[in-house]
Structure 1
Amino acid sequence: MTVVCVPDSNARELLGALPDGVEVIVWDGEGTKPERLAETVFWVPQVEDCTNLAEKFEAMPKLEVTQLTSAGFEDIIDHVPDGVTLCTARGVHGSAVAEMVMTVVLATLRRLPHFVEAQRQGRWEPMEADDLRAKRVLIIGAGDLGEQTARRLRSFDAAPVLVAHTAREGIHATSELPSLLPEADVVVLTVPLTPDTTGLVDAEFLARMPDGALLVNVARGKVVDTDALLAELTSGRLRAALDVMEPEPLPEGHPLWKAPNLIITPHAAGSIAQAGPRAFALVNAQVRRFVAGDDLVNVVNGGS
């Protein structure tokens, strides 16, 4: 019997039918441990679970696979025991997050915040805006999300430029950023959080961006130096749209709330009605691959 553990009853329902010989148990990682938990070989944690991970892994000594329902893995990877394969949900949320990038870029260029505020105050206040045509958009992070964002930008006649840690055909290396940033109308962050990307967007990075440029962060808050960005926003030199930020959730009274030239969304880029069904369709396929002895997809850490 193959024991699969999912975080809640809704996840069990979304998981759907599985092959004979698979038993699904429910455990949110807290409270009373269900029977057969110690027999679990395939675990689906709660979204972005980062608490008491060592204890959770200890409760499943036979675990072979940890399957995330998010693309991010920075909170868990250092806790995964040897011999346990870690897989992400790469590709599941990319379309939704790429749509959010397009939403905030277009909203900023077309001055929607200004028009919404004028409407709220009952003022008829036309303002000249801008469009995406021929805009140079630097996308830092050339994975699924970066590629999906680039594809959408091209349909608006923009010119996306993809950047990854290492250069390859059609993609620049992060070492080229000093020469790329001064030419960017928009910079979009889609990188995972790693030691290399933590604090990547610092005062020097921002200073290289041209006046009036837009920074969009749908990666992780710690990729950006919050104080450095606040200084640029307050001066009016740069604009930004943040779906993720540091700290998060953003506390009441934090200066980002009142910063000019900024759109804030509460880590909502992937929060769409189909996120759960799409994620667990992937989980279902992964369980079937595991049972059949086939190679899993989206493997981050293959164990040792």
Structure 2
Amino acid sequence: MTTDVWLPFEADEIQGLPDASKAGFAYRHWDGGADFPADPADCVFYAVPYMKGGEVAVRPLPAMTSLRVVQTLTAGIDHVQPGLPGLAPGVQVCNARGVHEASTAELALTLILASLRGVPRFVEGQRRQEWRSGFYPALADKSVLIVGHGAIGSAVEDRLTPFECARVARVARSARDTERGPVHPLTELPALLPEADVVVLCTPLTEDTRGLVDAGFLARMKDGALLVNVARGSVVDTAALLTELESGRLIAALDVTDPEPLPAGHPLWHAPGVLISPHVGGSTSAFLPRAHRLLAAQLTRFAEGRPLDNVVHRTAG
């Protein structure tokens, strides 16, 4: 049986990995470079390079004929999805639940507060030496709608609690109850959107959510509402959003865009009322230690034949 494990970090950087000789592993370091570290056919556990794009992520998959686990270091698996149909049946695909929630929720709150309280305007005022005082919106007493109430959406709600919001509503693929209240199904979005001052997108990118935020979705948002996207750029129809921004009816704070990276000269850069961060929701000092702990824990389970955590898909072959 082949036992190569491909890691995007050097194995000696990760505390707690199973001893290679005892587990029968051969740790191979590959972070998306042109040359593979070994024959992909010998890889049984593939930890996908982080932030290297979908083309890199799927490149070795067709040759990974012995593969049993694909472990992403992202909350979503959309970047590896195109390579999964060619894999053998029963390959487990695991996401990075537990790695990005805190950092992404921090950024979501940062974008909400910065947009509402006028921070971009203050920065521009400082650059021009202009004192831009006045009244600005507060998050207090606002109604917030979280679209996508998985681990990240729940973490965003945790951080909203001290800000005295009037209401927090939750939407996910299917209805369920939480300690804080009901999670509504996607089918109830049309009724919930007009009530929200802030709409936060945390949903994974799937065929159901691609283009979810289209002209109809945006038209249902109340005048002056803030759209925050920490999900994936393709969840939003960029052209439809630009129409609303340029009219001044809505404002937006975007950590992700479509296209991405956003090219120079794109009209979204200069649209009124938009704040853009360069997809840095998970790229913080918290990432490496949490990613290392995840890989060590998953490989320990794998070596011991125990069920893996964070299994979100199994290939059908």
Q: If the TM-score is normalised by the length of the shorter chain, which range does it land in? A: over 0.9
2: CA distance, partners of 1:61 / 1:103: 44
Q: Secondary structure at the match of 1:51?
A: helix
Which residue number in structure 2 is paired with residue 65 of structure 1? Answer: 69
Q: Secondary structure at the match of 2:54?
A: coil
Q: Give yes or no for the alignment of 1:145 onto 2:152.
A: yes
Which residue number in structure 1 is paired with residue 117 of structure 2? Answer: 110
**Gap change, CA 1:55 and 1:237, over 3 Å in 2:** closer
Equivalent residue for 1:289, pick from 296, 301, 304: 301
Which residue number in structure 1 is paired with residue 314 of structure 2? Answer: 302
Tell whether the 8 Å contact from 1:69 to 1:280 is kept in structure 2 after alignment: no
Q: Which amino acid aligns with 1:33?
A: F
Which residue number in structure 1 is paired with residue 204 of structure 2? Answer: 192
Q: What is the 5 A alignment of 1:81-92? A: 81=87, 82-92=89-99
- Which one is further off, 22-31 or 255-264? 22-31
2: CA distance, partners of 1:55 / 1:113: 40
2: CA distance, partners of 1:87 / 1:35: 23
Q: Which amino acid aligns with 2:277?
A: T
Please state how far the C-alpha of 1:179 moved relative to its aligned partner: 0.9
Which residue number in structure 2 is paired with residue 257 of structure 1? Answer: 269
- Which one is further off, 139-148 or 270-279? 270-279
Please state how far the C-alpha of 1:53 moved relative to its aligned partner: 5.9
Which residue number in structure 2 is paired with residue 213 of structure 1? Answer: 225
Q: Give yes or no for the alignment of 1:56 onto 2:72.
A: no
Q: Which amino acid aligns with 1:173?
A: P
Please state how far the C-alpha of 1:54 moved relative to its aligned partner: 6.0
Q: Which amino acid aligns with 2:173?
A: H
Q: Report the count of equivalent residues.
A: 303
Instruction: Give me the TM-score of the superposition, normalised by structure 2.
Output: 0.90
Q: What is the 5 A alignment of 1:154-233? A: 154-158=161-165, 159-169=167-177, 170-233=182-245
Q: Which amino acid aligns with 1:161?
A: A
Tell whether the 8 Å contact from 1:2 to 1:23 is kept in structure 2 after alignment: yes
Q: Give yes or no for the alignment of 1:242 onto 2:254.
A: yes
Equivalent residue for 1:38, pick from 41, 46, 49: 41
Tell whether the 8 Å contact from 1:8 to 1:27 is kept in structure 2 after alignment: yes
Which residue number in structure 2 is paired with residue 132 of structure 1? Answer: 139
2: CA distance, partners of 1:161 / 1:12: 45
Tell whether the 8 Å contact from 2:49 to 2:57 is kept in structure 1 after alignment: no
Please state how far the C-alpha of 1:63 moved relative to its aligned partner: 1.2
Q: Give yes or no for the alignment of 1:18 onto 2:18.
A: yes
C-alpha RMSD of matched pairs (Å): 1.8
2: CA distance, partners of 1:32 / 1:166: 43
Query: What percent of counterpart residues are identical?
Result: 48
Q: Which runs of 5+ in 1 are unaligned?
A: none
Which residue number in structure 2 is paired with residue 277 of structure 1? Answer: 289
